[in-house]
Structure 1
């Protein structure tokens, strides 16, 4: 099945894709390096040569590249923080909606008086949830709150947005908007790596976050093994 994957920090440290062919495609928004094997392609949203922080990612180039390569179905894995005590670190979710108020969304419509209805298609999610069970439990229908980054949110900011959604991150809303504009079907998977700053009495810093991501690496690797089997 022709499917492209978008991921980030979770694949940087993985050896699962080390044998995949590395290619670069030119788009009108800039070059994009990706990995490919068979009918699958993988983009590291942060880039491979010099990983970019979330607010500097060339989202338009990444999504344009997948459209130019003929992909229609996109499966994204995002690292997120939890805004709910009942969603602890290590939990997988799928987001069906999102909030992106802090900065304007990335768009292809810079020179056109045009916009579109927001959408996360999630057309593959029911199939993936069923096929991944019972090894993996995916909690669907969650709401993603997007912040700008690259710093984590203050405790005061978390107190404000904790009732807006279920998880918080810095990337997915941009990708979902662009996929919708380009006619691609965006499928959301996200792994909770931490509680949001101040939630459950926790404090977060970047060093702690990297340790939490490292702790979840084996789980991410296994998830991708299963995804590749299911979507073969």
Structure 2
């Protein structure tokens, strides 16, 4: 299978798929258990980022096992969803954003597959962190469905699991951040290292601390995601059937020796 969906907060159910089954995939970083199935003849792997019951906090997610496991299944494209807070008044709760850049404020997460040794030191280009071809397919599908989807956005990734302070939010905004979340890094970084095209559909669930009226709660994030679950599923379904069979982007060129690296584990 060549396509995977990584579901973020509120997106735990691969209900759009048929002929589903859970598979176990062994990786150097542990076991992962994605659900695999079909949609309209397209084979798809589904992986809930926080576990089926939202039991894994953002700083404890085994990002390396997740991405390595999906690559082992043959995945070449990943559509990810994230719930985000907005720093940008033009990006309102309920709207979708196709992020195109990130700022990394995580602190203690393993963030790369490349640890030196016999493979040497590897530096990967992130001028375009998110696949432009995949982003374009999502934006086109959103327009066809009449959904509001911003075609740019800077995602600020924090360590979590706590929410940010108003002072941090003011700093992030001054640095050019539009949205804040806790999971997109290192997921997007590892996908590029693995030679997988990757795009994120971020759903704005609230305004960030100091902008929102009152304190933030995880419950309100989950509630808004639940309200928009049907729209997200419709968008994902339309993208799945519209993807071109061949990739025509430059994502693979970021690390030309990717196949040799992963096949030589």
- 2:124 is matched with 116
1:141 corresponds, among 129, 134, 152, to 152
2:102 maps to 98
RMSD of aligned C-alpha atoms?
Answer: 2.3
Counterpart in the other structure of 2:6: 6
What is the aligned partner in structure 2 of residue 150 from structure 1? 161
For 2:9 and 2:20, locate their aligned partners in 1 and report how far apart those are by CA, in whole Å: 18
**Alignment length (residue pairs):** 232
2:137 alignment counterpart? 127
CA distance in 2 between partners of 1:196 and 1:13 (Å): 27
User: Residue by residue, what CA displacement relative to the aligned partner does 1:20-57 show, whole Å, maximum 9, x if unpaired?
Assistant: 22112111111111111132111111123672000000
Deviations 1:167-211 (A, max 9, x none): 111111211110111111111211111111121544312233232
TM-score scaled to structure 1, two decimals? 0.89
1:157-168 matches, within 5 Å, as: 157-163=168-174, 164-168=176-180
Q: Distance in 1 between matches of 2:99 and 2:114?
A: 25
Structure 2, unaligned runs of 5 or more: 245-265
Decide which of 68, 74, 78 is 1:70's aligned counterpart: 74
Q: Deviations over 1:88-139 (max 9, x none)?
A: 1111111111000342661111244333222222322212322332422321
Q: Summarize the alignment of residues 34-73 of structure 1 with structure 2, pairs less than 5 Å apart.
A: 34-38=34-38, 39-48=43-52, 51-73=55-77
Structure 1 gaps, min length 5:
none
TM-score under structure 2 normalisation? 0.79
Find the counterpart in structure 2 of residue 226 from structure 1.
238
Q: Is 76-85 or 109-118 further displaced after alignment?
A: 109-118
Counterpart residue number, 2:229: 217
In structure 2, the CA distance between the partners of 1:125 and 1:35, relative to structure 1 (3 Å rule), is same
Residue 210 of structure 2 is aligned to residue 198 of structure 1: yes
Q: Helix, strand or coil: the match of 1:133?
A: helix
Q: Displacement of 1:140 after TM fit? A: 1.3
> 1:183, 1:48 → 2: CA distance?
26
